[in-house]
Structure 1
Amino acid sequence: MNIFIATYGSRGDVQPYIALGKGLQAAGHEVTLATSERFREEVEAHGLHFGYMNDTMLAILDTDQGREMLENTRSAFAVVKRTFSMMKQVGPLQRRLLQEGWDAARQCQPDLIIFHPKAYGGPLYAEKLGVPVILALVIPMLVPTAEHPHLGFPDLKLGAAYNRMTHALVKRLMGLSAGKPVKAWRAANGLPRQGRFDVLHTHAGKAIPVLCGFSRHVVPPPTDWPETVTTTGYWFLDGHDHWTPPPALADFLAAGPPPVYVGFGSMAGRDPQRLGRIVIDALQHAGVRGIVATGWGGLQIDAPLPDSILRIEQAPHDWLFPRMATVVHHGGAGTTAAALRAGKPSVIVPFFGDQPYWARRVHALGAGSRPLPQKTLTVEALAAAINGVDAGVREKAAALGAAIRNEDGIGNAVAQIEKLMGGA
């Protein structure tokens, strides 16, 4: 098959789809991955064809205004308010991204389209080309259920009606956000008028198959999810088995017991220097060895470090995390998955978005500490959380890691895609 994958966003929105694309390619399929230009080199380095989409939307999110919109997310309503405040700026960019995604899809001429919800043009392109479409998720955020609220809402234990309402509200807000660009694109490309836009259904109302790229051991599938939804396991982008660490890192690991990793990716917050000071002081206060990753700007460290702490830019998580005692991170879906698969306890410092959800899930599973929101993070709280990781937490994290390692998320996803296409 010739398969077109469309995704957009940060590294966590792209890397799992590269992994899925590689799995499809290994199974004999031709794969084009369309995403932001900033990931072109990485996509092509893994042997996939690249489909161009511009970088402007992500550049806006890198500005102070964008960071303010992302980081001040006390509730789903706050997110919506800030999103709509930027619509005049973002609206034209959405239309441009829709057109660029279409240009890439038309050039690919695929037999199948797989899309991330942020690349919501996927169903439109599939309709125009007359090919099947599959929604691929790495966060359990779009398929409604009566068993728990949408991850952006508090779990108020108010029952099924409240839970359904939160999912319906998110669906409605997504329709409002994407409605105008979708309507304009359909008109410009000769497609019939459509009712309210919905990424879970085609224009004719048929349910779109959904692949969930996370583990059922971490997020058990709700019993009321339809048969069109399949939880496959995580889509890990591996290949670092033979990675050679720099001498400083290799020497540090050999010089003592497993250290505590601390890294917040690109989650710089409003004051990365403050976070850097808290991290260094907390590691010393806890009396542990530490490796601090400053790559992507999440932490900034200016002062000289003691011999018990090593600063690195970055290192492959699949290589580094199994060598750690504990992993302190921001709770991004990919980093959380990597820490869980390594069988290591997590101390999660969530910033925004889905990160508080993953922090709560890890704690509920017994594989990590209570969430420590970055805005109220203190030296004492972080040190206590690191020292609070006891034998019971380590045992549960190790067992969960073994279960995740026994899953073949990419293999399961490829098999399901081929099954769906066989039926199509």
Structure 2
Amino acid sequence: MLILTYGSRGDVEPYVALGLGLKAHGHDVMLATSRRFQGFVEAHGLAFGPLSDALLSILDTDQGKALLEKGGSLLQVIKSSLAMWRQLKPMQQALMRECWEVASTFRPDIIVYHSKAAAAPSIADRLGSACVLATPVPMHVPTRAFRFAILPRLPLGGWVNKASYGLTNGVVKRVFGPLIQDFRRSLDLPAVKNYDPLTRSDGSDIPVLHGFSQVVLPRPEDWPASAHVTGYWFLPDAADWTPPDALAAFLAAGPPPVYVGFGSMSVRQPETLARLSAEALAAAGVRGILASGWGALTAADLPENVLLIQEAPHHWLFPKMAAIVHHGGAGTTAAALQAGKPSLVVPFFGDQPFWGARVHAIGAGPKPIPRAKLTAARLAAAIREMTRSQGMQARAAEIGALISREDGVAVARGLIENAGSGPGRR
């Protein structure tokens, strides 16, 4: 079985969890993703398939960081993305070829893939494999229940929500359709008349597994039978993980701190964001932990009540916090909710505003503060709300308990196995 995924840590970790669940039930599993995650994948005992870092490296450039910082504006995202497409197109074509090279060597009977691995259905056609789209974000299957996840919230009714998928999927088809057709020709496959990322070339539906909890977002009633909500895909607890001495000492030295971290969201002035966070923690009268993460958040002179760490497993650290401030990536949101602690989402771009709105809607955190509107005063006010509101704390704990009872990996594994033995298998 081959798992194809691409993106930041949040686009890799859930798929490692899936891979472990499949391997534990006798499947031979390889996970292919960016080379920067090779150590992470192999440390969990999975075979690794190498894909280029080139597309991810774009986010490390000033142009990529500017795109993230302007991510609150859909128009800015569209303009910046179109401007970068000439640069991104050959990288996307190379990524498709690399996915084929891995798959043609491993020759899986089932391919489980992230939507960024858009070549997967064509590869499955070429190899005669089953394929399953597995995603932590609900942004593929149309519904009246909610809008396409990366679009602004427009409370205009169900028909607008459903129409948003037609609009965005139309753009996807227009941009990726020609690439897919070229890729299929390179594999000696016939062209598809109307490229649709949710169907195989014979018109059959691709099973879509959504790796989130119905406690957070219930399955829409108008979804087809091919679309499933499994629950989150969490890694097993890292029982053997030992915190650095500085972190262990800081946690033992006082009341639970507030976590502030923005994952892989690289910014051009990380020191400014660190100082803003430290100022907000001081104004709220709480201790804090700042996580630098992939975004290289730094601070030259932090007060004694704030500790800067590189990273720590979220499932180990978050339950020890009083509250959590994060960027709203699907994986970090899941970990914060499972921990049962109130969380504030500071969205940068993409699906992050969507998850921030969901956290607030279910009562597990304050109203999100977009990165472009983040100030020390606003952050301090949200931290005070999270650490002083008994109702919010109780609700977050209730949600955490419900999520912890689910086994999303087991549900997903069963659906993947069914897809491998069903009519989609060639």
TMscore range, shorter length: over 0.9
Aligned pairs for 1:154-303 (under 5 A) are 154-303=152-301
Cα distance between partner residues in 1 of 2:295 and 2:161: 37
Identify which of 140, 146, 150 aligns with 1:142. 140
Quote how far apart the aligned CAs of 1:47 are. Answer: 1.5
Match of 2:322 in 1: 325
Cα distance between partner residues in 2 of 1:250 and 1:223: 46
Q: Does the Cα contact within 8 Å between 1:263 and 1:298 map onto a contact in 2?
A: no
Quote how far apart the aligned CAs of 1:157 are. Answer: 2.6
Identify which range, 282-291 or 269-278, moves more after superposition: 269-278
The 1:27–1:112 alpha-carbon spacing in structure 2 relative to 1, beyond 3 Å, is: same
Q: Is 1:416 aligned to 2:407, yes or no? A: no
Match of 2:305 in 1: 308
Instruction: Give the residue type in structure 1 aligned to 2:178.
Output: K
Q: Does the Cα contact within 8 Å between 2:132 and 2:419 map onto a contact in 1?
A: no
Quote how far apart the aligned CAs of 1:306 are. Answer: 2.8
Match of 2:343 in 1: 346
Cα distance between partner residues in 2 of 1:60 and 1:246: 32
SS in 2 for 1:381: helix
Cα distance between partner residues in 1 of 2:46 and 2:248: 32
Quote how far apart the aligned CAs of 1:103 are. Answer: 0.8
The answer for unaligned runs of 5 or more in structure 2 is none
Q: Deviations over 1:211-261 (max 9, x none)?
A: 111111111111101111111111112332232112222122122211111
Cα distance between partner residues in 2 of 1:164 and 1:346: 29
Quote how far apart the aligned CAs of 1:71 are. Answer: 3.2
SS in 1 for 2:57: helix
The 1:77–1:128 alpha-carbon spacing in structure 2 relative to 1, beyond 3 Å, is: farther
Instruction: Give the residue type in structure 2 aligned to 1:381.
Output: R
Quote how far apart the aligned CAs of 1:92 are. Answer: 1.2
Instruction: Give the residue type in structure 1 aligned to 2:157.
Output: G
Per the normalisation by structure 1, the TM-score is 0.96
Q: Deviations over 1:170-210 (max 9, x none)?
A: 11111122122211111122111212322111112211001
Instruction: Give the residue type in structure 2 aligned to 1:414.
Output: R
Quote how far apart the aligned CAs of 1:169 are. Answer: 0.9
Q: Deviations over 1:339-371 (max 9, x none)?
A: 100000001111111111111110011000111
Instruction: Give the residue type in structure 2 aligned to 1:19.
Output: A
Instruction: Give the residue type in structure 1 aligned to 2:414.
Output: A
Identify which of 30, 33, 37 aligns with 1:32. 30
Aligned residues: 421
Q: Does the Cα contact within 8 Å between 1:262 and 1:292 map onto a contact in 2?
A: yes
| Larger RCO (alpha carbons 8 Å, 6+ apart) | 2
Identify which of 374, 379, 382 aligns with 1:377. 374
Instruction: Give the residue type in structure 2 aligned to 1:376.
Output: K
Instruction: Give the residue type in structure 2 aligned to 1:393.
Output: M
SS in 2 for 1:30: coil
Q: Does the Cα contact within 8 Å between 2:60 and 2:266 map onto a contact in 1?
A: no
The 1:175–1:77 alpha-carbon spacing in structure 2 relative to 1, beyond 3 Å, is: farther
Q: Does the Cα contact within 8 Å between 2:144 and 2:158 map onto a contact in 1?
A: yes
Q: Deviations over 1:91-134 (max 9, x none)?
A: 11111111110011110111111110000111000011111111
Match of 2:399 in 1: 400
Cα distance between partner residues in 2 of 1:211 and 1:357: 19
The 1:87–1:297 alpha-carbon spacing in structure 2 relative to 1, beyond 3 Å, is: closer
Cα distance between partner residues in 2 of 1:350 and 1:268: 13
Cα distance between partner residues in 2 of 1:100 and 1:89: 18
Aligned-residue RMSD, C-alpha: 1.4
Identify which of 2, 17, 20 aligns with 2:18. 20
Aligned pairs for 1:33-72 (under 5 A) are 33-72=31-70
SS in 2 for 1:366: coil
SS in 2 for 1:154: coil
Match of 1:95 in 2: 93
Runs of 4+ in 1 over 4 A off after TM superposition: none
Instruction: Give the residue type in structure 1 aligned to 2:152.
Output: P
Quote how far apart the aligned CAs of 1:75 are. Answer: 4.4
The 1:83–1:307 alpha-carbon spacing in structure 2 relative to 1, beyond 3 Å, is: closer
Cα distance between partner residues in 2 of 1:206 and 1:265: 37
Match of 2:105 in 1: 107
Q: Does the Cα contact within 8 Å between 1:264 and 1:298 map onto a contact in 2?
A: no
SS in 1 for 2:315: helix
Quote how far apart the aligned CAs of 1:69 are. Answer: 2.8
Instruction: Give the residue type in structure 2 aligned to 1:412.
Output: V
Q: Does the Cα contact within 8 Å between 1:258 and 1:323 map onto a contact in 2?
A: yes
Match of 1:355 in 2: 352
Per the normalisation by structure 2, the TM-score is 0.95
The answer for unaligned runs of 5 or more in structure 1 is none
Quote how far apart the aligned CAs of 1:77 are. Answer: 4.4
Quote how far apart the aligned CAs of 1:54 are. Answer: 1.0
Cα distance between partner residues in 2 of 1:298 and 1:12: 16
Match of 1:336 in 2: 333
